[in-house]
Amino acid sequence: MIEPKKRGADMALVPAAVKRPRSELVAAAQNQQIATMGPPRSSSLQAPIMLLSGHEGEVYCCKFHPNGAMLASAGYDRLILLWSVYGDCENFATLKGHSGAVMELHYNTDGSLLYSASTDKTVCVWDSETGERVKRLKGHTSFVNSCFPARRGPQLACTGSDDGTVKLWDIRKKASVHTFQNTYQVLSVTFNDTSDQIISGGIDNDIKVWDLRQNKLIYSMQGHGDSVTGLSLSSEGSYLLSNSMDNSVRVWDIRPFAPKERCVKIFQGNVHNFEKNLLRCSWSSDGSKIAAGSADRFVYVWDTTSRRILYKLPGHAGSVNEVAFHPEEPIGNYLASFYALLFYIYSVCYVKYFILYFFSFTVLSGSSDKRLYMGEIQ
């Protein structure tokens, strides 16, 4: 069920901090005026940092719509809130239907459907245009921690649960298509790029790859020393990102015929704690950056190539459970690309400098402090 939201004080743009640096663009919620100061803006957001408040409990998950114009968030309050990315970032709708906390959200490739996994043992499929629930997937006997829709082909989805199973679903059918029995609880799942394999991680520390043609486990990837809480496939489908309670984030080569040692990079900095939240991880659209949730209340962003921490972003007052990159921002860079092409006539050095100066990202984070932040990074 979709519930339209009237814009109120709790949904208005909230100042990110009381004391602001002079170089910051300030969105004034009271008089709706924008004051421009400092260097040129690098995104189409109303302000460099936007605070989205409205959840009544911890925020466990948040995702941008593939078109970049809206986003969804959910968590302990059992509600899925839909927000506008631009303007005042108002919460324009609420999806109700789960009777337990929502643990993970994912849009399908074209953004027409939104999938949500919940502790009520079900996965719901929502029409992202109307907000209507079009399917409820039942079959798990315990909390569903993760869900993921296939990138292409039939309308398939995979789920992972505390009941120790990984399930494959065709949303045109009532029951699951196949069930893979894992020994321990499954905390995160994803498909490979061609959707003929399901990749899962859980409390046994291993990342397992299940083949849908042979209906069996084909290989496991060892390396993490504690539970794997988040998995994310790179945009081209060659590499897998994992977040673990051993306080490391790893990149794995999942291409066919890859070397036996598939772990190619290890990133450190983010932490897990006694709360044991399922901290997720994500890639930027071009694969140059990765980000992960952390229990120390910071958003961590790394450079994929050098493994260096580029940003350790403060602001949240609770565990950061998920971080997501905008699929298209910055929109203003189309203009930058045009001018970069002109500069190419004169000097390659100018092109490099120009692109580096304008190339930036918009990052979204959801936290146990019930808030979401969305902001620009270079």
pLDDT at 16 (0 to 100): 42
Identify the pLDDT of residue 369: 96
Tell which residue, 91, 108, 20, 21, has the closest CA to residue 54: 91
Residue type, position 95, single letter? L
Q: Cβ distance 75 to 377 under 8 Å?
A: no
Structure tokens belonging to residue 9 = 């004080």
- What are the two backbone dihedrals, phi and then psi, of residue 79, each rounded to the nearest 5 degrees? -105, 150
DSSP 8-67: -GGGS---S-SS--TTS-EE-TTT--EE--SSPP-SSSSSSEEEEE--SS-EEEEEE-TT
> Where are the domains positioned within the chain?
228-330+338-348
Peptide bond into 154 cis (omega under 30): no
Q: Does domain 228-330+338-348 have CATH number 3.40.50.300?
A: no
Q: What's the CA gap between 267 and 320, in Å, rounded?
A: 17
Residues in CB range of 259: below 8 A, 6 or more apart = 253
CA separation for the pair 322, 374 (Å, rounded): 12
Per-residue pLDDT of the chain (378 residues; tens, 9 = 90+): 555 554 433 433 344 444 444 433 333 333 333 334 445 555 678 888 999 999 999 999 999 999 999 999 999 999 999 999 999 999 999 999 999 999 999 999 999 999 999 999 999 999 999 999 999 999 999 999 999 999 988 899 999 999 999 999 999 998 999 999 999 999 999 999 999 999 999 999 999 999 999 999 999 999 999 999 999 999 999 999 999 999 999 999 999 988 889 999 999 999 999 999 999 999 999 999 999 999 999 999 999 999 999 999 999 999 999 999 999 865 433 333 333 333 333 333 433 333 333 457 899 999 999 999 999 887
